[in-house]
Amino acid sequence: MFKAFLIKYAEIGVKGKNRDIFEDALVQQIKYALKRCEGEFKVRRTKGRIYIDVLSDYDFEETVDNLKTVCGISAICPMVQLDDEGFDKLCEEVVNYVDKQYPDKNFTFKVHTRRARKNYPIESMEVNALVGEKILDAFPEISVDVHKPDVMIFIEIREHIYLYSIEIPGPGGMPVGTNGKAMLLLSGGIDSPVAGYMVAKRGVKIDAVYFHAPPYTSERAKQKVVDLARLVSRYSGPIYLYVVNFTEIQLAIYEKCPHEELTIIMRRYMMKIAEEIGKKTECLGLVTGESIGQVASQTVHSLAVTNEVCTMPVFRPCIGLDKQEIVDISEKIGTYETSIQPFEDCCTIFVAKHPVTKPNLNVIKRHEENLKDCIDEMMDRAVNTAELIVVEV
């Protein structure tokens, strides 16, 4: 029944030249999402609107599911496309549509017409009134409410006439590719895939880095991170995932630094290496899944000490969220089930019984001195031997 879609987008701040960039990027991302769907589609941009024409048989559910992953889309409106065969025919089609779409007739409505084709013989206000009357005639139990209708019936008069009343929410935000690129520190947990999604939703392209510590972390733990990257890439587009072998550095820290400071020192090296790779790949910032107070290494004191090694801005989109709020987002974006698979990540193996919660930067730096003979060489090796996996859906 639906042979076209109207795509709505929200950001009101985008104007002028930026609007072109925004719309072009959105069209690109829509095409990328539609490539995953059965069927033939044409994406069109006219006068500040984006339409998708369906040119063949297609699977409605699959198409909508994929469009729901396109950042920048605020709503997806499935449209009935009609040829202009006179006004009576139009009224008949609208009545049919209402009957099919709303079997339960207990609602209020309003008709809203947009006459983009100015040579159409009836003005939009009149179309609203006349079509409204026909609906009321056909279904006396329905009533009009012009202020707060349950259902808005939109009629768009163009070359064809379009009819829609359903708005399926998209992720909102901005199309990926309109806001630079950042390096996501992606672990196998719940938080970092959510952080990646939240940054992608603001238009940022992402690369990712995973710190792998074989044999302490298994191949399956690595596979889980690849799987998570793939799930995030539904929203972000292809992700270049760098798998860094972190074992040597972790063992050196374990051997030479106080155990209660292990996590914090390890996190500082992770950030440094992520930044190093990020610089080479034109990333402008780092992204982590940290949230204030969630664990010892995420107290404000710990975050300050971790952050001290970075020269790039670090984006922490989960910073103010409670765990349950992060879980809710991960369920919504479909990463939760994968995140909770029980494979160790490298942090959980080298954790101390009583990690510091208020690390002192000077003390940490003094203890890092213990690594000075070997760390530069090991960092270089970690960066240079990183395995690149290109992940996409």
Applying CB under 5 A, which residues contact Mg ion? 187, 189
283 binds ligand ATP (CB under 6 A): no
294 binds, among ligand ATP, Mg ion, none (CB under 5 to 8 A by kind): ligand ATP
197 binds ligand ATP (CB under 6 A): no
Least distance in angstroms from the C-beta of 314 to ligand ATP: 10
236 binds ligand ATP (CB under 6 A): no
Specify the residue, 173 or 189, whose C-beta has the smaller distance to Mg ion: 189
Least distance in angstroms from the C-beta of 388 to ligand ATP: 15
Least distance in angstroms from the C-beta of 212 to Mg ion: 13
Least distance in angstroms from the C-beta of 172 to ligand ATP: 23
11 binds ligand ATP (CB under 6 A): no
User: For ligand ATP, which stretch binds (CB under 6 A), given 64-72, 166-174, 286-294, 381-389?
Assistant: 286-294
Q: Would you say 91 and 84 are in contact if contact means Cβ atoms under 8 Å apart?
A: no
242 binds ligand ATP (CB under 6 A): no
Task: Give, as ranges, the residues between 151 and 190 that touch ligand ATP (CB under 6 A).
Answer: 185-187, 189-190
54 binds, among Mg ion, ligand ATP, none (CB under 5 to 8 A by kind): none
For the chain, the three-class secondary structure string (H helix, E strand, C coil) is: CCCEEEEEECCCCCCHHHHHHHHHHHHHHHHHHHCCCCCCEEEEEECCEEEEEECCCCCHHHHHHHHCCCCCEEEEEEEEEECCCCHHHHHHHHHHHHHHHCCCCCCEEEEEEEECCCCCCCCHHHHHHHHHHHHHHHCCCCEECCCCCCEEEEEEECCCEEEECCCEECCCCECCCCCCEEEEECCCCCHHHHHHHHHHHECCEEEEEEEECCCCCCHHHHHHHHHHHHHHHHHHCCEEEEEEECHHHHHHHHHHCCHHHHHHHHHHHHHHHHHHHHHHCCCCEEECCCCCCCCHHHCHHHHHHHHCCCCCCEECCCCCCCHHHHHHHHHHHCCHHHHCCCCCCHHHHCCCCCCCCCCCHHHHHHHHHHHCCCHHHHHHHHHHCCEEEEECC
Specify the residue, 51 or 210, whose C-beta has the smaller distance to ligand ATP: 210
Specify the residue, 203 or 317, whose C-beta has the smaller distance to ligand ATP: 317
Site string for ligand ATP, 334-373 (x = CB under 6 A): -----------xxx--------------------------
288 binds ligand ATP (CB under 6 A): yes
299 binds ligand ATP (CB under 6 A): no
Task: Give, as ranges, the residues between 252 and 271 that touch ligand ATP (CB under 6 A).
Answer: 270
Q: Which residue is nearest to ligand ATP (CB)?
A: 189
Displacement of CA 110 from its chain's centroid (Å): 33
Least distance in angstroms from the C-beta of 231 to ligand ATP: 14
If we measure between CA atoms, which residue out of 30, 342, 335 comes closest to residue 184?
Answer: 335
Least distance in angstroms from the C-beta of 386 to ligand ATP: 12
- φ, ψ of residue 189 to 5 degrees: the values are -85, -165
Task: Give, as ranges, the residues between 208 and 227 that touch ligand ATP (CB under 6 A).
Answer: 209-211
Displacement of CA 154 from its chain's centroid (Å): 28
346 binds, among Mg ion, ligand ATP, none (CB under 5 to 8 A by kind): ligand ATP
Q: Which residues make up the interface to ligand ATP (CB under 6 A)?
A: 185-187, 189-192, 209-211, 270, 288-290, 294-295, 297-298, 345-347
